[in-house]
Amino acid sequence: MKLLRLLSWPYVRKHKLRMLLTLAGIMLGVAVFVGMHTANLTIQSAFQRTVDRIAGKAQLQVSAGETGFPEEVLERVQSSREVSAASPVIEAALSTSQGTLLVLGVDMTGDASLREYDLEGEDEDVIDDPLIFLAQPDSMIVSRQFAERTGLERGSKLTLKTMGGQKTFTIRGVMKATGLATVFGGNLAIMDIYAAQAVFGRGRLFDRIDVGLAEGVSIEQGTAKLQALVGPGFQVEPPQSRGTHFQSMSRGLTVSINLASLFALLIGVFIIFNSFSIAITQRCGEIGVLRALGATSGQVRRLFLLESIVLGLCGSLLGVFAGLWMARGIVPGLAGTLQEVFGHALSADEITISTPLAALAVVIGVLASLVGGYVPAHSAARVDPVKALLKGRTQVLSEGENRLRQKLAAACIVGCALLLGLGNRNEYFYPGYLLGIVSMILLAPAMSMWLARALRPILKLIWPVEGALAADSLIQAPRRTSATVTALMLSLALAVGFAGVSRAIYDSLLDWMNHTLNPDLYVSPSRSITAKTFRFPATMGDELRALEGVEEVQPVRNARVLINGAPVMAVSIDIKAITDRVRVRPVEGNREELVRLGAQGKGVIISDNLSLIRNIHRGDILEIPTPRGVLKLPVLGSSVDYSDQQGSFLIDKSLFQKYWGDDTANIFRIHVRKGYSRDRVREAILKRWADSHEIFVYTNEGIREYILKLTDQWFGLTYIQLAVALVVAILGIVNTLTVSITDRRRELGVLQAVGGLRNQIRRTIWLEAVSIGAVGLVMGAAAGIVMIYFNLHMLHRDLGGLRVDFTFPYAFMAMMVPVIGLCSFVAAIWPAEAAVRASLVESLEYE
Amino acid sequence: MIDLTQVSKVFAGKREVTALHPLDLTIPKGEMVAIIGASGSGKSTLLNLIGGLDHPTTGTISVDGATLGTLSDDELTRVRRDKIGFVFQFFNLLPSLSCTENVSLPLHLRGWPKQKTQDRAAELLNLVGLGKRVDHLPDELSGGERQRVAIARALSVYPPILLADEPTGNLDSTTGEEILGLIKDLHRRLGTTVLIVTHDMTVAHACERILQLKDGVILADRRVESPAAQ
């Protein structure tokens, strides 16, 4: 500790900027980790909190996935002796001018025993006399926050667009801003369940039944009894299970976050490594003196390790705060994206601060710092007191060291190839992936030197002095530049990896859309095509067919059902009608058989990603829970279908209507008759329904645009991480240049003394920075190819079962050339100015 | 050629240090002058001021008609590259560049064409007796050879003034004599004005004039009747 105060602290004070840059490297790495995980956690907790608060005292919930179920199930549940209270619920989100309003349709006659409606003042009579709701179906109670936002009070009227046209509701009460009323950012409204059925086009279906168990009945007993009572087509689960299902749906996001956080930390490790290597180079003399005065190598090692711990601790603590701040910015966008992608209403106003996560981040930050500082500390401990006084020696990688790295890299490549060759199992794939990355890291110093050597003649040809000196600076001090180049390579590899995957997905998505989405118009009851708040009645299909210019109307009903405990999207269509217009491209199975048997309701066609994620194949029996029991259908085959990340299956609408008792539609696909104007038909639809219904008519291009926008939003989440990764790498360039200038102070002084103009000196530094950027860019592109390969495999095996082809993101790389060039240049501005403004006399005397 | 009027230099810091008290000095064209004195006497400071590497606290310095204090940084650099050649005690060669590249460095900085630059570098390396070591890196040369390269670099444009700060200070006596001989020879053949900062009285006596500094003041300014031949 004394040494830390005596030696380290003065060094820190003298090199404030470098220390700040190093701190920033750790801070950003930890911030990405904390920020992304906190944002994800906030969303998951907000969802769970909403579920818990809405559930109130309910211990179990009976549901049938997202499809809903007939009213008579309620009687069966209520008849159970294990049940003390059972109340049906419809839960939907409505768009209003004040944001999304979560509407709960409940049966007030029995619901008060499960949920506490803490109403203000005289409003209590609404609960005390539930007949008010029954007798007046336009009744609604709202939360205090929503009332304040919209200027509502008891007796006010609120007009909303519903499936039955515009309806005006009367506010019968306002809930105090506590408990239930605080869910969904306080945007909550309660209405009668039968009114909700009409408002949301639910027919005679409920979304779920909330159940309170009789005294003495355990959750397990209640679950078993109710499951037996309602049959296997239903899910009887504690309310918390909804959170688990949501987590399962957003698993892809969690994996992406973990991967990007890992890379951000890895990049941080290289920044620390770089910084400490530099510090040791600069403090070589000091180390020599220490050793000469009797310090043991262990003491020197401990000193530097202690420094890395202190720096890691400070950077991590700052990173935790920065991460929480970052999360605050990310959460609204993330919630919006997840809401769009999964069709679940989400609202998270306050971020969830997790102490274990913060503690883990600090531990990881300190460990990363220790890992980054270990090799330099070890080198410092081995410094020969005599050699320590020789300037510049430690910047050079010894031949032996270089050879060892190359041998280790070769071993890692062989290991990686062997593991990948062994089989497709995770136990082989992920270690193979890790070895692949390690080999890239090990090869980085040698590769950066080769590339710098290759660059020298080019640079020298264009700028004989500045170019040659810039390249020489990289060649002569590989230790100084390799960590930065490696950090840049990893950042770019991450960016290229993501860009490659997104390009591949884009291409596949475009291909799928071109092939599948061929109707002229799409009619949806919500702006979001994934939202399932409203559904069209079946009769609307007939009315659409009757419109002039409409040739064919294809209703589509989709909803998630739980298959083996995980949500899968059921897509109910008229298979015959749709396959007459869309040529099925089977991945497994025979096209003619798929269409014929599918249309006859003799099986289901599953999506390729469902097949891959769940290992379900042609001939397997899919057990689908329905309100009428478990429907066992053979899998006829699989085809490419990107309807849902967790997989989907096509089922003929005749079967769906039979087993789910549901003939509503989420969307109508409309083919316009030849010779008729698509826009005229669109206008006719809007004219007929827009005044009375929530209705959105998308053109074919509009729907494609919508899907691509959604895809962009999804990938947009990763762009933040990429941006931070690049910033961290750029900090590394600034760090390296600052040191390079210190190391080359005399050289730059000589250059000025013999006639180098300020601009010529600046150009040398700029060229050095741009060369680092160029070397990092080339290595990043190479490493990116490897990343794309691994990412596509990950996508295929663990993140949605997508089978997409390898595509190199040329456009992205072309964009990165000026971005990295510019960033490197910007990183060089300050160091270059520092170089030209340094005292010439001091520079020439610098040792 | 070189005129200093009331030039002083004070280094500011926690404690102000006066390196040079106000002094006047004139060095005519073609003269070879030695500046001697103990460490801290201000001799290197004086040389740096004359070379435009540092700025005086007071006074004016005129070099070959150019008043240094009135020039911008780039103009000062142009004066340095066109009129002054530097030779340092520690050679200050760029380790990554070959002898030819080191010598041609100032010429490249002036934007000379490649062939002309190479021809001049070869000519100068021949002049300093290193015609056969053109492609060697500084690390591959002896101390004397490195200083020869440094001298060749300083003379790359045949500047009218050569400033040498302890040019033999890092060399053994035999090599030091060789280097001094070389400088004298070049002074004689090219008519260059030479200022040498040195501790070595042998070097000083080889010059035509000796300036002795003590605590930032010119203690003595005397002519050497018959400079020792090297």
At residue A619, φ and ψ (nearest 5 deg) are 95, -20
- For residue A8, the 8-state DSSP code is I
Between A683 and A240, the more confident residue is: A683
Is pLDDT of A194 > 90? Answer: no
How far apart, in whole angstroms, are the C-alpha atoms of residue A514 and residue B198?
Answer: 84
Residue range A555-609, pLDDT digits in tens: 999 888 888 878 888 999 999 888 888 888 888 998 888 889 999 989 999 998 8
Please give the share of chain A, as a percent, with pLDDT higher than 90.
Answer: 13
- B51 has a chain A CB within 8 A of its CB: yes
Please give the share of chain A, as a percent, with pLDDT higher than 70.
Answer: 89
Question: Per-residue pLDDT averaged across A304-319, rounded?
Answer: 88
Residue range B169-190, pLDDT digits in tens: 877 888 888 888 888 888 888 8
pLDDT of residue A399: 58
Q: Are A230 and A85 in contact (CB under 8 A)?
A: no
Question: Per-residue pLDDT averaged across A317-326, rounded?
Answer: 91
Which among B48, B73, B110 is the nearest to A755, CB-wise? B110
Residue A216's Cβ-side half-sphere holds a number of Cα atoms within 13 Å equal to: 1
Question: Per-residue pLDDT averaged across B209-222, rounded?
Answer: 91
Q: What is the mean pLDDT of chain A?
A: 82
Alpha-carbon gap: A473 to the closest alpha carbon of chain B (Å): 8
Strand order in the sheet with B58-63: B17-27, B2-11, B58-63, B66-67
Between A693 and B7, the more confident residue is: B7
Verify whether the Cβ–Cβ distance B94 to A753 is below 8 Å. Answer: no
Q: What spatial distance separates the first Cα and last Cα of chain A, rounded to whole Å? A: 29
Q: Are B109 and A751 in contact (CB under 8 A)?
A: yes
Which among B92, B101, B110 is the nearest to A750, CB-wise? B92
Provide the residue type at B146 as one letter.
R
- A754 has a chain B CB within 8 A of its CB: yes
pLDDT of residue A621: 92
Is pLDDT of B229 > 60? Answer: no
**ipTM of the prediction greater than 0.90, yes or no:** no
Alpha-carbon gap: B203 to the closest alpha carbon of chain A (Å): 22
Structure tokens at A494: 């991450």
Of the pLDDT bands very low, low, confident and very high (cuts 50, 70, 90), residue A393 is very low
Whole-angstrom Cα Rg for chain B: 17
Residue B186 counted as domain residue: yes
Of the pLDDT bands very low, low, confident and very high (cuts 50, 70, 90), residue B193 is very high
Nearest-10 Cα torsion for A738, A744, A748, A750: 160
pLDDT of residue A391: 46
Residue B230 counted as domain residue: no
Is pLDDT of A527 > 90? Answer: no
Question: Per-residue pLDDT averaged across A290-306, rounded?
Answer: 76
Which among A473, A747, A758 is the nearest to B74, CB-wise? A758
Question: Per-residue pLDDT averaged across A86-99, rounded?
Answer: 80
Residue range A533-563, pLDDT digits in tens: 778 888 889 999 999 999 999 999 988 888 8
Is pLDDT of A675 > 80? Answer: yes
Residue B138 counted as domain residue: yes
| Contacts with B156 from chain A: Cβ below 8 Å | 754
Question: Per-residue pLDDT averaged across A467-488, rounded?
Answer: 80
Provide the residue type at A253 as one letter.
L
- B78 has a chain A CB within 8 A of its CB: yes
Question: Per-residue pLDDT averaged across A382-403, rounded?
Answer: 57
Verify whether the Cβ–Cβ distance B109 to A465 is below 8 Å. Answer: yes
Is pLDDT of B62 > 90? Answer: yes
| Contacts with B114 from chain A: Cβ below 8 Å | 464
Is pLDDT of A273 > 60? Answer: yes
Verify whether the Cβ–Cβ distance B51 to A753 is below 8 Å. Answer: yes
Verify whether the Cβ–Cβ distance B54 to A756 is below 8 Å. Answer: no
Tell me the CATH number at B128.
3.40.50.300
- B54 has a chain A CB within 8 A of its CB: yes
Residue A566's nearest CA partner among A282, A840, A248, A283 is A248
Residue B31 counted as domain residue: yes
pLDDT of residue A385: 63
Q: Are A701 and A510 in contact (CB under 8 A)?
A: no
- Burial of residue B173 (CB within 10 Å: 0-12, 13-18, 19+) is exposed
Structure tokens at A167: 């309806």
Question: Per-residue pLDDT averaged across A416-434, rounded?
Answer: 84
Domains of chain B: total: 1
Whole-angstrom Cα Rg for chain A: 32
Q: Is the pTM of this model over 0.90?
A: no
pLDDT of residue A395: 45
| Contacts with A842 from chain B: Cβ below 8 Å | none
Verify whether the Cβ–Cβ distance B54 to A755 is below 8 Å. Answer: no
Question: Per-residue pLDDT averaged across A482-504, rounded?
Answer: 81
User: DSSP states of B173-220 as a string?
Assistant: HHHHHHHHHHHHHHHHHH--EEEEE-S-HHHHHTSSEEEEEETTEEEE
| Contacts with B40 from chain A: Cβ below 8 Å | none
Residue B191 counted as domain residue: yes
Domain boundaries, chain A: 1-56+243-396, 57-238, 444-516+708-847, 535-693
pLDDT of residue A292: 66
Of the pLDDT bands very low, low, confident and very high (cuts 50, 70, 90), residue A669 is very high
| Contacts with B106 from chain A: Cβ below 8 Å | 754-755
Verify whether the Cβ–Cβ distance A844 to B92 is below 8 Å. Answer: yes
Residue A257's nearest CA partner among A146, A118, A357, A124 is A357
Residue range A48-58, pLDDT digits in tens: 877 777 877 88
Of the pLDDT bands very low, low, confident and very high (cuts 50, 70, 90), residue B166 is confident
Verify whether the Cβ–Cβ distance B105 to A754 is below 8 Å. Answer: yes
Is pLDDT of A765 > 70? Answer: yes
pLDDT of residue A805: 78
Closest alpha carbon within chain B to A752: B77
Provide the residue type at A846 as one letter.
Y
User: Which range is most confident: A196-200, A284-288, A741-745, A817-821?
Assistant: A817-821
- A391 has a chain B CB within 8 A of its CB: no
Is pLDDT of A394 > 60? Answer: no
Listed by number, the residues of chain B in 187-216 with a beta carbon closer than 8 Å to a beta carbon of chain A are none
Question: Interior CA angle at A579 toward A578 and A585, to 5°?
Answer: 130
Closest alpha carbon within chain B to A747: B94
Is pLDDT of A739 > 90? Answer: no
- B225 has a chain A CB within 8 A of its CB: no
Structure tokens at B228: 């020792």
Of the pLDDT bands very low, low, confident and very high (cuts 50, 70, 90), residue A846 is low
pLDDT of residue A680: 92
Question: Per-residue pLDDT averaged across A295-301, rounded?
Answer: 77
pLDDT of residue A571: 92
Residue B115's nearest CA partner among A454, A47, A355, A464 is A464
Residue B105 counted as domain residue: yes
What is the interface size between A and B, counted as CB pairs within 8 Å?
74
| Range(s) of the domain holding residue B127 | 2-223
At residue A486, φ and ψ (nearest 5 deg) are -65, -45
Of the pLDDT bands very low, low, confident and very high (cuts 50, 70, 90), residue A651 is very high
Beta strands in A113-233 (DSSP E): 139-143, 157-162, 165-175, 188-192, 205-206, 208-213
Residue B128 counted as domain residue: yes
Verify whether the Cβ–Cβ distance A758 to B77 is below 8 Å. Answer: yes
Question: Per-residue pLDDT averaged across B69-93, rounded?
Answer: 85
Is pLDDT of A389 > 80? Answer: no
Of the pLDDT bands very low, low, confident and very high (cuts 50, 70, 90), residue A740 is confident
